[in-house]
Structure 1
């Protein structure tokens, strides 16, 4: 027996959630098939299949029997570069041909009835019976494949029943309107898919590759390898992820990350595929091949997310399995109970029962959730908010607590000079001398001191020989004026007596969560420098926006409690410090007992906590870990992105419940009017079609969603 292999098929004509459910039910009955994922939003069927038990051809024949067309297959592995489907114009689609055919038959019967009025019933009956054949075949195929109560079944039974009781004209109209409704679903589904496929246009198909000789040549993007150098001219799109090696320019990353302002890129800066180079020529070293760049990952992740079902969608799928047969039973009771129990007219109540069948079509209800989820995922991807599935998108809107890691999440991830206190000379003198001592050292504190001196454009004193570092204590270098050292207050206290007022200053700075270093010349203290990993520029605003939505926020950190509390106090949130990874994991578990919790981290050292939370959110500008480990990732690497995620999720949940309420309300209204004899058959099918179109249109509004500021 061969091992099960992965298969992914593109399905043409699968334009609603009910269609996807029918295909899933049929394929699940085939031997050797497992792990089925059907996405109406993506128009795909993914599964595992044992080829010795069921061949790909058998699967495709089963799909064709249901009235859909397998348009191509691909392995589950990611393609070399995402490509668009070749789509035929809507008026050439199978469903458009059905509209034209049913419309032409009805029009022919209508015209002929003027010349042969005595034959009008037979003319309309003939038109209706011919028109219903394609739908009846799909209904029979669905019944044989395990879906006896499909939408086609309801429509075919209603149409044939109308012909049987002499309402052939209405039967022909019903079939035509049903075909129109299916075509409208196709057009709407195409618009939703275009929202994601538009990302594919962001990546150029060619690049200017620079050879080792300096000569450039135009090559296909797929031909680029890691460590290739490419030239990106002003106005060009960056062909793949990489690092700038030469040149400087502003780069518009809005198409990828949603960042509205161009960002200055200089040597060493990361750039993303699809970003637009603005005003200078760049030489970029490629770090990801075309199949693995940020755009390809975004598209792949959103496609996978659309294939996964949200909890509400699964609930509605279960609901629809008994809803449709229950609706048929109710329609049957409407047909027989009034005539038998109350002496009602048989034809009148059969007619009303048939109208009830049409009103009961669950298409609008079934599509209410997946349409909104697909639009929400696409809207998020356009803004650099990557969400790995409908379940994560739903859960985000329900979280009651958000836990942030500190370093690299709420803070910049590297120390910055906050205070310079001169005890001898000026502040600039102290900073310049300290930077001179530290300039050849790679310790983060030393790098921060040198960076601060550069920002002030200070001229550094010359040193004689390299600095000598004693780990955990000090760095010493020889300046023109003699030996100078930059070290910890404890090290300084070992070499000299620290005055009481200086000790007080050190303690005051440390109480603010800052690290203090002492500049000494010989045994004389010349100044103090305080450093701290400062909050991100948008951290306070991001926290404020989350609090405004009623979310509880706290910070979980491995730093000492004093440092964690100082940072948290400035942002207006609670802090829990000195948490080792296992303690942080236990804290997430404790908080989770009170309700859904989201954990926000850098996607590397916080992986256990991200996995344990209800939703894990990774910061990190599209790094491999950020895209692979968490349930959601923020390409813009901003704290406000968490608030944007929550806002998008809540907007999507609101859209879902609007759709459900709209679908059920319309059905309730038309059911009542049907029982009182107001609704005709063509009005009933128009009501169902209209509800489906309204629900889909409402869901598509999310494609233009912008988070509130």
Structure 2
């Protein structure tokens, strides 16, 4: 099986892709054919009007079946230079055979059942054509260009040249890739690298287009053309992947060309050899041959997958898992590897305080320091400050004059003492025990800040974007299913390894750029087989498209949801393992239906050879087996044990 999937609706048959835009007309013709069949059925006796109504029913309801049957068979056979029939041509010939022997009602019924199942499949699959308009909206369109006289004007981003100087104000979307010339700020780069903690930037640091500037302002020099930015490459990768993907064949599609070819060979041989082997007349041989063709028409087979798949999709939708096509759910049972984005998928997406230490044995002193710390952090607008305040809520407000300098941390005066909070690199006078704890926490992938009194470090706080509650349970389930798990993150390797260790994931790949995520997915596909991807950010979009089945987190970005094949609402990871259980059950039921359908066909063929089968028995067997197959599929509406 080829481990690829599409961003467009296609039918894969005999290894070829067939795009069909059925539009509204075939649906109208189908219902016109259905109405004609019902009208003919109500006429009590055989007459010309009844026959004409059945013929109209066949031609009207089966218009697209006939066209795709003969048209696609010819087109695909010429393209591949070998005979590649599809099930449409078999159904067309079966209806024609029924008509030749005078059973127009059976021919019309065969066409109606198959055409109805075909439209139902179209509905289940959907077009699933991915739109990237939301991604394009996120692409910056304007920039503040600094002119030679020092004034600024607003210009289109695509007019910028390498070497231009731009002004970026607080809260701005950075217009393009470049380097900071002057000024300092904090930049949220999660849309590009997936890192949950904004980065401090100052002169000489690189910034990326589409990322969000924080409270500071700066001037920057353009270093790349707009079409060469990291964000532009993400858009380009998504477009390329959408254009190059083809849907993985479902079980029925894999069986289809072989089954049809076999029937088309067997029926003529049966008609030609029966008079010699069984002593039948040519008239009886032809009649039995037509009955054989009708018996071999896979009505139940056509209904084996679609109702079951729709039931599974409905079951999941009620539980917050939305699939954009039936084939994605059908193929989920066959995945051999799952890749996860870290931030916002396996983790909460925001840092929390995991450890802290204050260098004193006096409980009151520690309490006072914590109160000063929280009062200082209350003035800061930074995710780390939010994490510290969540751990140490500010109590009685202290009257502090707090200085917040980007790159230097927070400084405040209180009771004649100077207090400071910042990165460890900013401090020199650090006790050995605090230095050791800092090194320990850093190895665990945690972000550490120091708290100092009069230039002497007296405490530290360690923070980390911790795994969400469901992550470990889902990883354990996947490992029990012998499915390889990988975390892909733009964060540092140590940070990724720390989270991976907590949840027991098999493999961690850190320091990954957005354009490399899809390449890692392709490597996983080559090494393990069919691969799923779960992510929530713009930077995950190419990987979601490249994966055989892409899952977006419901609280993620619009583009991730747009290009994914399924969406986990409410960011509930446990719904992914539930979806896998439903897919496995779907796989089991579909195979039950296929085997049952083939047994019915075999039974009818044997009865036909023994002369114990006629059209009436064929109709009862077809309708009965089809009904049983549909009812079996509807079992997927029931909840699967979690």
Question: What TM-score results when the alignment is normalised by the length of structure 2?
Answer: 0.65
Q: Aligned partners of 1:592 and 1:189: how far apart in 2?
A: 32
User: Counterpart of 2:635?
Assistant: 701
Q: In structure 1, what is the equivalent of residue 608 of structure 2?
A: 674
Q: Distance in 2 between matches of 1:145 and 1:184?
A: 14
Verify: 1:564 aligned to 2:502, yes or no: no
Deviations 1:202-226 (A, max 9, x none): xxxxxxxxxxxxxxxxxxxxxxxxx
2:525 pairs, out of 579, 583, 592, with: 592
Alignment-derived partner of residue 152 in structure 2: none
Q: Give the conservation status (yes or no) of the 8 Å contact 1:484–1:522.
A: yes
Counterparts in 2 of 1:696 and 1:182: CA distance versus 1, 3 Å? farther
- Kindly indicate whether the alpha-carbon contact (under 8 Å) linking 2:374 and 2:392 is maintained by their aligned counterparts in 1: yes
Q: How does 1:180-579 map to 2 (within 5 A)?
A: 182=112, 311-312=249-250, 315=253, 319=257, 323=260, 327=263, 330-344=266-280, 349-424=285-360, 425-426=362-363, 428-454=367-393, 459-465=395-401, 467-480=402-415, 482-492=417-427, 494=428, 496=429, 498-573=430-505, 574-579=507-512
Q: Secondary structure at the match of 1:605?
A: helix
Residue of structure 2 equivalent to 1:50 = none
Residues 511 and 336 of structure 1, relative CA distance in 2, 3 Å threshold: closer
Deviation of the 1:416 alpha carbon = 0.5
Describe the superposition over 1:108-142 as per-residue Cα deviations: whole angstroms up to 9, x where unpaired. xxxxxxxxxxxxxxxx6889857744456559967
1:451 and 1:140 map into 2 onto residues whose CA distance is: 65
Supply the distance in 1 between the matched residues of 2:302 and 2:514 (Cα, whole angstroms). 43
The structure-2 alpha-carbon separation of the partners of 1:517 and 1:680, relative to structure 1 and needing over 3 Å to count, comes to same
Structure 2 counterpart of 1:580: 513
State which of 686, 692, 701 in structure 1 corresponds to 2:620. Answer: 686
Moved more, 535-544 or 614-623: 614-623
CA distance in 2, matches of 1:177, 1:701: 30
Do the aligned partners of residues 625 and 584 (structure 1) sit closer, same or farther apart at CA in structure 2, a change above 3 Å counting? Answer: closer
Question: 1:556–1:584: 8 Å Cα contact kept in structure 2?
Answer: yes
3-state SS of paired residue (2:338): strand
CA distance in 2, matches of 1:630, 1:646: 16
d(CA) in 2 for partners of 1:585, 1:186: 38
Once residues 359 and 58 of structure 2 are traced to their aligned partners in structure 1, the CA distance between those partners, rounded to angstroms, is 92
1:552 Cα shift?
A: 0.6
What is the DSSP-based 3-state SS (H/G/I as helix, E as strand, rest coil) of the residue aligned with 2:460? strand
Distance 1:98 1:694 in 2: 23
Q: Determine helix, strand or coil for the equivalent of 2:538.
A: coil
Q: Which residue of 2 aligns with 1:68?
A: 30
Give 3-state SS (helix, strand or coil) of 1:477's partner.
strand
Structure 2 gap ranges (5+) = 1-9, 71-88, 127-245
* Alpha-carbon distance, 1:545 to partner: 1.6
Question: 1:158 and 2:98 equivalent?
Answer: yes
For CA contacts below 8 A with separation 6 or more, give which structure has more relative contact order: 2
Question: 1:190 and 1:564 mapped to 2: Cα distance?
Answer: 44
Contact conserved, 1:400 with 1:597, CA < 8 A, in 2? Answer: yes
| 1:414 counterpart SS class | coil
Q: Secondary structure of 1:420's partner?
A: strand
Paired with 1:146 and 1:475, the residues of 2 have a C-alpha distance of 71
Whole-angstrom distance in 2 between the partners of 1:421 and 1:379: 49
**In the aligned structure 1, how far is the partner of 2:622 from the partner of 2:513?**
57
Distance 1:585 1:134 in 2: 51
Distance 2:426 2:570 in 1: 41
**Alignment partner of 1:36 is 2:20:** yes
How many residues align? The count is 489
Shift of 1:348: 5.2
Q: Give the RMSD, CA atoms, in angstroms.
A: 4.2
Deviations 1:263-320 (CA, angstroms, capped at 9, x unpaired): xxxxxxxxxxxxxxxxxxxxxxxxxxxxxxxxxxxxxxxxxxxxx9762278369628
Cα shift at 1:571: 0.7
Deviation at 1:620, TM superposition (A): 4.1
- Tell me: CA distance 1:332–1:187, structure 2 relative to 1, closer, same or farther (3 Å): closer
CA distance in 2, matches of 1:596, 1:691: 33
Contact 2:30 2:62 in 1 (8 A): no
Deviations 1:450-489 (A, max 9, x none): 12223xxx51441333x22233443112334633222233
Alpha-carbon contact 1:604-1:625 (below 8 Å) kept: yes
1:102 aligns with 2:41: yes
2:577 aligned with 1:643, yes or no?
A: yes
What TM-score do you get using the length of structure 1 for normalisation? 0.60
- Of 581, 587, 591, which residue of structure 2 is paired with 1:653? 587
- 1:419 and 1:531 in contact (8 A); partners too: yes
1:94 Cα offset (Å):
6.3
SS in 2 for 1:529: strand
| Residues 422-431 or 681-690, more deviating | 422-431
Contact 2:98 2:107 in 1 (8 A): no
The 3 A distance-change label for structure 1 pair 384 and 158 is same
Deviation per residue, 1:225-273 (Å, 9 max, x gap)? xxxxxxxxxxxxxxxxxxxxxxxxxxxxxxxxxxxxxxxxxxxxxxxxx
Query: Structure 1 regions of 5+ residues with no counterpart?
Result: 1-16, 22-27, 29-33, 39-44, 47-59, 70-92, 107-123, 164-170, 197-307
SS of residue in 2 equivalent to 1:338: helix
* Aligned partners of 1:132 and 1:159 also within 8 Å: no
